[in-house]
Chains A and B, each alone.
Chain A
């Protein structure tokens, strides 16, 4: 716990103080000991061994580094992007600093493929999954019939955190924010009658990603689909869990090991599966667009360093890293953010020896919605989502999830998630955006903004490097503190009116006129059903095989081998998710966060 007293400046405990990681015996709930008094202010010196991010030889060189200027901290009336870069009243040819090569050509500022959406329109992938596996199966088949081109599986918190549905810690959370998966049997139910050879599935799963991927692969095998044919993505990005999303399980170092084990294991065996989606939840936790891109690319650098440390050729893993971003309604800045991000990533990959174009391309998915949606006048969110999806299409991303307009306060209904899918279909089919690559290329404003954002992003990436890279920035709590402060600044901006949000702090409906919206009813039966199923599973399986598989897993976790094979063996023996996760926890211990604000 952290305390902060009256009138005090934000506290900064000494580096690593209280940010430690509990040993294998765990210290869950022992928070009392970590309460500390105020008064340890001071800033950390740059960590030893800080490495500069390679800068490109051209582009953005002359751009002033405007990034990091906090919104509203300046008295200048000049409008700024959300990242803090100034916006001029007019842009002209004089603002163009670099003539970007065409799409498909290094550094891919204008897009990673030459034909972009004319070759293949972005994947429309709606996040779904709630309650029981049977309910999720029904929703998936509905969405596929409605024209969706990929599946995205939302998992409940116990599944994300390695708890079985009958674990006392899971009480009240089973099937709430996604579907509950306890064993291979549940994965079999979710994908019943869905041919895994012809759909691709994205699983938003991190700490327990190795277990879930092993289950998915096993279902495919039982359907007769060979491993090399299955396609999809596991998020498997633990760094942003420590930085923003909070669904960590083990301490940082073993978490990185598991994540990289999974990436390494899929390189040959599952060539169509994205083993990591390096994600930008930092944005939804408060970061500016420039910070979002910077932290996410810095995480990408951390993963690539871990893979390089295992002597894996960057040309091999480069084409397998994928990214995931948030897009809000600040349209032009979002387009520029994606263009700048591609340019920086391509230069980085080249600098570590990736010369194959496939290994230099920043392939990315994104979510439209998140914190940009309001619970006031929720239908206004349809306009925001449309702008956001349009920005993504102009920004040239590969896969899009449009959240539902009711998502700020509820699990979406069938109608609201369908309407959100329709936004993407209308964009792709009724506008020209998918008919030419980089439709905003050459816009004085967008090109200048791309350069400005690049400078701002690089500046933040350098700050992360000065902390020692993402792992160290997270271990010390530096990153979490930056993000929390931005979130508070943003909220203050909304309340002062400096940040206009229609329906919230401007153009508000009179009290009581906002009509109630139909909400999806969540079954409270899920938990009871799941508990009963688990009891049946535990009675029916070969207990000796489970025990043996878990013993092997524990043994190998104490060594340094890749853990994917023993995890697959445990999954196939119908060991539960909780049993596998707790076996690893005995070896790895638990994480305790530096809860600064």
Chain B
């Protein structure tokens, strides 16, 4: 199934980051390519990007979402560190999603660190694209100028995106997104 460009009114900007020491970037590059082909602007950090650099780049570039690719097992340390870095930059509301090899038992812990969603090795690209489109939806529905202040605290309405559709397998619940994978 080809990935249909979602053509939102607002071009979402995504930072795909590869924190930690792991050097396997196949997943990060595939996701970056898929998001690009879905019409988003994607910035990829390359390998071994430090957490302060990720947070600073995200703020300076005004990205809508940070996607972390983590395969090494260091996800808890990394996500905690990034949360602190984002807080110190005043960007604690910036949504963070994680892709990689994450044991099920750790998912609630990641959710408690503010991770919106965890994608596994076999998550379809389409699902990732849809979820990220849905995350940035408030910006898609209002003008970029009005959105410049960042995401409001209100949770986005599920299924409301006119073109992107619902985030797959999220059972129409916005709380599922807040809490990571069911």
A contact residues vs B (CB 8 Å cutoff): 1-8, 10, 28-29, 31-32, 35, 157-158, 160-161, 163, 169-173, 176-177, 241, 245-248, 284-286, 371, 374-376, 408-411, 484-485, 487-488, 491-492, 495-497, 504, 511, 516, 519, 522, 592-593, 595, 597
Q: Which of B13-60 contact A (CB under 8 A)?
A: 20-26, 28-30, 32-34, 36, 39-50, 52-53, 56-57, 60
B151 within 8 A of A: no
Q: Which residues of chain B are near A376, meaning CB under 8 Å?
A: 122
CB distance from B155 to the nearest CB of A (A): 24
B90 within 8 A of A: no
Q: Are B121 and A3 in contact (CB under 8 A)?
A: no
Q: Which residues of chain B are near A504, meaning CB under 8 Å?
A: 122
Closest A residue to B23 by beta carbon equals A246
- With A172-B74, A487-B30: A409-B121 Cβ-Cβ less than 8 Å: yes
B147 within 8 A of A: no
CB distance from A244 to the nearest CB of B (A): 8
B72 within 8 A of A: yes
Bound form: Cα–Cα A273–B45 in Å: 38
Closest B residue to A508 by beta carbon equals B122
Per-position 1/0 for B57-98, Cβ under 8 A of A: 100100000000000111011100100000000000000000
Q: Are B26 and A496 in contact (CB under 8 A)?
A: no
Closest A residue to B20 by beta carbon equals A173
Closest A residue to B53 by beta carbon equals A29
- With A172-B76, A375-B122, A492-B125: A4-B42 Cβ-Cβ less than 8 Å: yes
- With A374-B122, A409-B101, A496-B1: A6-B46 Cβ-Cβ less than 8 Å: no
- B77 contacts which of A1, A171, A492 (Cβ < 8 Å)? A171
Q: Are B45 and A595 in contact (CB under 8 A)?
A: yes
Q: Which residues of chain B are near A247, meaning CB under 8 Å?
A: 23
Q: Are A3 and B74 in contact (CB under 8 A)?
A: no
- A595 contacts which of B20, B39, B44, B72 (Cβ < 8 Å)? B44
Q: Are A31 and B24 in contact (CB under 8 A)?
A: no
Q: Are A173 and B47 in contact (CB under 8 A)?
A: no
Q: Which 3 A-B pairs have the closest CB atoms?
A: A246-B23, A172-B77, A595-B46
Closest B residue to A169 by beta carbon equals B21
Per-position 1/0 for B132-164, Cβ under 8 A of A: 000000000000000000000000000000000
Bound form: Cα–Cα A169–B50 in Å: 9
Q: Are B72 and A487 in contact (CB under 8 A)?
A: no
Q: Which residues of chain B are near A4, meaning CB under 8 Å?
A: 32, 36, 41-42, 44
Q: Which residues of chain A are near B20, meaning CB under 8 Å?
A: 157, 172-173
Q: Are B57 and A176 in contact (CB under 8 A)?
A: no
Bound form: Cα–Cα A221–B72 in Å: 34
Residue with the highest number of chain B CB atoms closer than 10 Å, among A2, A161, A497 = A2
Q: Are A3 and B42 in contact (CB under 8 A)?
A: yes
Closest B residue to A410 by beta carbon equals B103
Q: Which residues of chain B are near A7, meaning CB under 8 Å?
A: 5, 39
Q: Are B73 and A176 in contact (CB under 8 A)?
A: yes
Q: Which residues of chain B are near A511, meaning CB under 8 Å?
A: 169
- A593 contacts which of B39, B47, B122, B124 (Cβ < 8 Å)? B47
Q: Which residues of chain A are near B124, meaning CB under 8 Å?
A: 495
- With A29-B50, A29-B53, A171-B77: A6-B39 Cβ-Cβ less than 8 Å: yes
Q: Are B24 and A245 in contact (CB under 8 A)?
A: yes
Closest A residue to B24 by beta carbon equals A246
Closest B residue to A241 by beta carbon equals B23
Residue with the highest number of chain B CB atoms closer than 10 Å, among A31, A376, A522 = A31
Bound form: Cα–Cα A275–B63 in Å: 46
Q: Which residues of chain A are near B60, meaning CB under 8 Å?
A: 32
CB distance from B24 to the nearest CB of A (A): 6
Q: Are A408 and B121 in contact (CB under 8 A)?
A: yes
Given contacts A6-B36, A595-B45, 8 further A-B contacts (CB under 8 A): A1-B44, A6-B41, A29-B53, A163-B21, A173-B20, A241-B23, A371-B26, A375-B120
Q: Which residues of chain B are near A6, meaning CB under 8 Å?
A: 5, 11, 36, 39-41
Q: Are A487 and B45 in contact (CB under 8 A)?
A: no
Bound form: Cα–Cα A170–B21 in Å: 8
Q: Which residues of chain B are near A487, meaning CB under 8 Å?
A: 26, 29-30
Bound form: Cα–Cα A29–B76 in Å: 21
B104 within 8 A of A: yes
Bound form: Cα–Cα A8–B120 in Å: 27
- With A6-B39, A31-B45, A246-B23: A157-B57 Cβ-Cβ less than 8 Å: no
Q: Which residues of chain B are near A170, meaning CB under 8 Å?
A: 21
CB distance from A23 to the nearest CB of B (A): 18
Q: Which residues of chain B are near A169, meaning CB under 8 Å?
A: 21
Q: Which residues of chain A are near B25, meaning CB under 8 Å?
A: 246, 285, 484, 595
Bound form: Cα–Cα A8–B5 in Å: 12
- B30 contacts which of A409, A491, A497 (Cβ < 8 Å)? A491
Q: Which residues of chain A are near B26, meaning CB under 8 Å?
A: 284-286, 371, 484, 487
CB distance from A464 to the nearest CB of B (A): 20
- B43 contacts which of A1, A29, A410 (Cβ < 8 Å)? A1
Bound form: Cα–Cα A157–B72 in Å: 8
* 9 pairs from A and B in contact (CB 8 Å cutoff): A4-B44, A31-B57, A32-B57, A171-B81, A172-B74, A176-B72, A488-B34, A595-B45, A595-B46
Q: Are A409 and B76 in contact (CB under 8 A)?
A: no
Bound form: Cα–Cα A86–B84 in Å: 54
CB distance from B132 to the nearest CB of A (A): 14
Q: Which residues of chain B are near A375, meaning CB under 8 Å?
A: 101, 120-122
Closest B residue to A175 by beta carbon equals B73
Q: Which of B107-133 contact A (CB under 8 A)?
A: 120-122, 124-126
Q: Which residues of chain B are near A491, meaning CB under 8 Å?
A: 30, 34, 125
Q: Which residues of chain A are near B32, meaning CB under 8 Å?
A: 4, 597
Q: Which residues of chain A are near B29, meaning CB under 8 Å?
A: 484, 487-488, 597
Q: Are B73 and A2 in contact (CB under 8 A)?
A: no
Closest B residue to A411 by beta carbon equals B73
Residue with the highest number of chain B CB atoms closer than 10 Å, among A6, A35, A177, A374 = A6
Closest A residue to B52 by beta carbon equals A29
Bound form: Cα–Cα A302–B122 in Å: 36
Q: Which residues of chain A are near B1, meaning CB under 8 Å?
A: 495-497
Bound form: Cα–Cα A597–B67 in Å: 15
Q: Which residues of chain A are near B53, meaning CB under 8 Å?
A: 29, 31-32
Bound form: Cα–Cα A336–B131 in Å: 42
Q: Are A157 and B21 in contact (CB under 8 A)?
A: yes
- With A31-B49, A157-B22, A487-B29: A2-B74 Cβ-Cβ less than 8 Å: no
Q: Which residues of chain B are near A246, meaning CB under 8 Å?
A: 22-25, 47-48
Q: Are A176 and B24 in contact (CB under 8 A)?
A: no
CB distance from A237 to the nearest CB of B (A): 13
Bound form: Cα–Cα A475–B104 in Å: 39
Q: Which residues of chain A are near B121, meaning CB under 8 Å?
A: 374-375, 408-409
Bound form: Cα–Cα A375–B100 in Å: 11
